[in-house]
Amino acid sequence: MNHEQACNHIVEQFLTSEEELPLYVVYYQLKGRPDELESMRLLSIHCKSEANQRVAMEFLYNNGFFSDLLSLIEKNEQSLNIRNKSRAIAYRIMYDRKALPKKQLKPDTPANYLNQITQVESSSDDEAFLILKDLIHIYCYFDMHQYGKIGTYNERLKQRIDQLQDPLLQQLLEARLTESLLIYHWKRNEVILARKYGFTLLSATENKRKKVDLHNILAQTYLFESYQQAIQHAFFALELAREMDDERAIYGLKNYTIPFISSHFSKTDGIHTEDKAEQAHQALAKGERKICIDILEEFRSLTPFQQYYLGAAKEDKQLLQTAYRRFIVERDDYFYARLPLKVLNALDQ
């Protein structure tokens, strides 16, 4: 019996058995086989037990099978089992957060997601739901650029994940915790530690969507060290996004990440962007300060990044100091606070 036949036999046995095995048992039987991911996807779609469906939702989310996840969410939203219903609502929120138009990089109303999840009725001893609830808080604070708040959840998440009885669910949620730690340490400007978490996740996941996100973040961690490393990760992400035909990821990488890195290192030849702020950044990189200033002065309000571009173009220390403070105070972003600080130090020379 070859590997494919073995996988098919395991799947068939699971689907035809009168008493359904826990998903984690079958997962360990399939682990390392060529069809492991597809076999687990099929089992996740077709499993019947309520306990398995709860784990299946996490498996499908974790591996980027969002259309399959939506079907399972819809099924479990109608469940009379409070654990299944509450978790389905949590996954619906996480699904909605991902289902954005091509040119929209972040949700408009993350605060609404926080309101939704706090109102969900759940079983008082459902540790996994509490983990999902904490993860939704982390994702919403990330979308709102409130990076410091992410750190308040990490230790509690670890403790809760350690208490889970299902080893597959535990493994999947540990990967989510690792991703949270990557973001947290990156924004704390602890890039060596952040990269350690990033590369751990890269080597462990088969989810191409996740790999796009990881390469995108890793690219940015090299901003103050190496153009080659930064742009290489950005183009790895773009290549994967094109393989999946992920329009939103392609748009974000082509119009934000790659132009941003290229302008930061003054390597703008052949790089184009639709984003006005990044067009201003490119003009700054080319020494076209007036163009940069003219673009940004038409904005009604400026983000800390845009304020940094304008301050650099004008060589205005007050603007740069304000941008620096905003990165720290508004966002707890000690990594990107280095941008205006670098220009301020250069102006003081």
Give CA torsion, residues 91, 92, 93, 99, to 10 deg: 110
Q: How far apart are CA 235 and CA 218, in angstroms?
A: 11
**Taking the CA atoms of the chain, what radius of gyration do you get in angstroms?**
23
Nearest to 82 by CA among 128, 138, 40: 128
pTM more than 0.75: yes
Each residue's pLDDT, cut to its tens digit, for the chain (349 residues) gives 455 565 678 888 888 888 899 999 999 999 988 889 999 999 999 999 999 999 999 999 999 999 999 999 999 999 999 999 999 999 999 999 988 887 776 777 899 999 999 999 998 899 999 999 999 999 999 999 999 999 999 999 999 999 999 999 999 999 999 999 999 999 999 999 999 999 999 999 999 999 999 999 999 999 999 999 999 999 999 999 999 999 999 999 999 999 999 999 999 999 999 999 999 999 999 999 999 999 999 999 999 999 999 999 999 999 999 999 999 999 999 999 999 999 999 998 8
Smallest CA-to-CA distance from 312 within 333, 294, 339 is with: 339
Long-range contacts of 40-45 (CB under 8 A, 24+ apart): 41/65, 41/68, 42/11, 43/11, 43/14, 43/15, 44/68, 44/72, 45/71, 45/72
